[in-house]
Chains A and B, each alone.
Chain A
C-alpha cells in the first residue's frame, strides 16, 4: 500500500494542484491526502483502479481544505472544482505510460530548454534568480518556461496517443 501511494505521489499532487493551483496549498492537501489514503488502506483498490480512487480521496480533501481556508484567500468555486475533478479522475492515463512519456519527451528537449527546466524545478531557483543568471527579464523567462512546458505537454499527449494506438 505504501508503495502504491509513493508511486503515485506526482500524479496525486498534480491532480490536487489542478483544483487548488497554489503550490503550498497543494502540498498541504497532499499530506492530508496521504494520511487519509493510509487510513483507508484496507479498502484501497490496486492496479489501474488505485489512482482514480486516490484522486477521489484527494478531491474530498481539497473540498475540506477549501472550506477551512476560504476566508483567507480565494479558491475556485465548488462547482468548478467538481467539474474539473470529475473529468480528470477518469482521464488519468496509466502511471507507467505517463512516466514513460515524460521521460521520452524530457529527453527530446534542447539543452537550453532542459537547463531552464532544471533550474526551475530541480534547483528550485526562483524566477528572479534564473532571470538574473541568464541576463533576461523575469517576464521573458516565465514566458520561455511556459512555452517549454506547453511543448512538453503536447509531446506527452502525442506520445500517449501513439502508445495507446500501439504504434509507439
Chain B
C-alpha cells in the first residue's frame, strides 16, 4: 500500500492525463521512465488506476435510476463542513449511508449480465445458460420463436444500455390537412400520425396539424417543428399559429429564445434565422418565458389579446401591439373540432404498491389456477422489471402474481367512455409491457390486429425497450367501451440443470395510453350542451383535463353530463362475442 507516498507534481499531472485519455506519446515515455525507476510510484499509479477502474465499474453497474439518485441525494442534509471541492474527507450522516447504498457492489443480476453480454463464448451461452445466483430462476423461451424484440431484451442487460433505456415514441399529433405542402424527406399524407421526438420540415405550402393534447397548429413553410412531448412543440424556424382548446391549457411552444405557455388562447410564434423570436396573442393569454433575463427584469411576461413580445438571442426584449384582427374566428381555423384526450387509465396510475386498481380487472385465467375475476393489484416490481412510476404507469397483476401459472393466459380488462367523440377520428394507442407478452387484444369483444409477442429469454428484463404499441381505431362504439388484453405467462429454467421447468412464475402487465378524438358533430346536431365533460382523475397524458377557466367557445360535440370516465364496474366479465 502507498498510504504515506506523495507523488511528485509531474507524476500527478501525467496520471491526470492518463485518466482523462489525453496522454501524448512523449508523456507516455516520461511516465514509463518514472514508473520504471521508482517502485513506490508504480504502486501509486497501479492503486490509482485500480480505483479509477473500480469507480467506473461500480458507477455503471449500480443505482440504475440516476434521477432517483439525484433527487434523493438532494433531499439529504449535507454533512457538516461541506464547503469545498478540494476540502478533503469529512464525516457524514445520511449521505454516508446513501452513498454506501448507491455505490455498493453491483447487484448480481446486472453484474452477471455484464459477464454474459461481454464474456461468454457464444456456444456456451446458447446451449447452457449460466444460472442467476439469487434469482431462483431465469426465464427462457419455450416453443416460441425468437423475435427481434427478444434480441433487444438481451441488449437491455448491458448496464450502459440500461441508463439510456426509453420507451418507444408515442404518436402525439396527426396531419389534419395541407395545401401545396412540400416536406423535406418523406411526404406526409392527411391523417398520418406524428410521433414525439420527430422533427418535420415544411419547405413550402401550408399545413394544419392537430395535436392530440388539444392544440391546432397552422404552419406556413418554411417551418421546422419538433414534437418534444404530447403537450410541447419546439419551433426551430418559421411561423406558426396555434389555437389551443380550453382543456389543453399549458400547451407550450419552445424556441431558442423563449418558451410560450398557453393560458387558453390563440397565438402566433415565429423563430429562426438569427432574427428576434416573436410571439403575439390573438385572443386569450400566454405566458412568455425568455431564456435569458436581463438583471432586474421580469422572469416571465403575461401577454394578452393584441400584445406581442420580441426577444433576441441575448435576451433583449421589445413589446409591441398588434391589431387583433384574427382570433378563434379566423378563417385559418375553419375545420374540424380540435382533438381532445380520451380518458383511459394507465395501469396503477396514482396508486400505492399493493393497492387494487379500480380501473383494471383480471377477468379470466387458467381454469385450474384462477380464483375468479378481481381488481388488478399494483405489484412491487420484480427485480428485472422497469421501476414503477406513480405518475405514469405501474405494474399490475393478480394476487399471488409471483407464482402465476406457467404457459397460461390471463385476461386483463379496462373500460372507457367515448360519449361525445367522433368515432371516425378517435385513435387509441396503447404502450404495452408484459411479462411475458401479449397474445391478443379485443375491443368490445372484437379482435384488434396485434402481432402477438413473448419476451422470454434467459435473464429477461422488462424495461422500456420491451414496450410495444397497439393501435386501436376499429371496433369502438359510442358510450362505454371495454378493452381486454390476453397476457401470456411463460416458463422458467432450473438454475442447476439449466433446463426449462414448468413451474409458477411472475406475471404482470403495464399499459400507458395515448388516446384522442374530435368532438362528435352529431352531439351538437342533437342540440346537446357543448361544454366539455368533466373528467375523472387525470392521467399522465391528460394532466390538465377538467380545466374550466376559459373564455373560448367549447368545441363542438362535448356535452356537460358529469361522467367518470374509465371506471370499471365490479361486475365486468369476459365479453363472449368473439
Contact = CB atoms under 8 A, between A and B. Distances in A.
Contact of B32 (A9, A31, A80, A146): A80
Contacts of A118: 59, 69
Contact of B51 (A9, A16, A152): A152
A157 B54 contact: no
Interface in B85-121: 85-92, 95-100, 103-106, 108, 111-112, 114-116, 118-121
Interface in B52-87: 52-61, 63, 66, 69, 73, 78-79, 81-87
A80 B21 contact: no
Contacts, number: 223
A38 B129 CA distance: 12
A67 B206 CA distance: 63
A111 B95 contact: yes
A10 B53 contact: yes
A62 interface: no
Contacts of A105: 89
B46 A18 contact: yes
A43 B54 CA distance: 26
A6 interface: yes
Contacts of B25: 74
B23 interface: yes
Contact of A14 (B36, B50, B61, B90): B50
B54 A10 contact: yes
A157 to B, nearest CB: 4
Given A22-B21, A38-B119, A110 B97 contact: no
Q: DSSP class of A's interface residues: helix, strand, loop or mixed?
A: helix
Contacts of B15: 146
Contact count band on B: 35 or more
Interface of B: 1-3, 7, 12, 15-16, 18-21, 23, 25, 28-29, 32, 35-36, 39, 42-43, 45-61, 63, 66, 69, 73, 78-79, 81-92, 95-100, 103-106, 108, 111-112, 114-116, 118-121, 124, 130-131, 133, 160
Contacts of B59: 118, 121-122, 124
Interface of A: 1-3, 5-7, 9-11, 13-18, 21-23, 26, 30-31, 33-35, 37-39, 74, 76-77, 79-80, 83-84, 87-88, 91, 98-99, 102-114, 116-118, 121-124, 127, 142-158, 160-161
B133 to A, nearest CB: 5
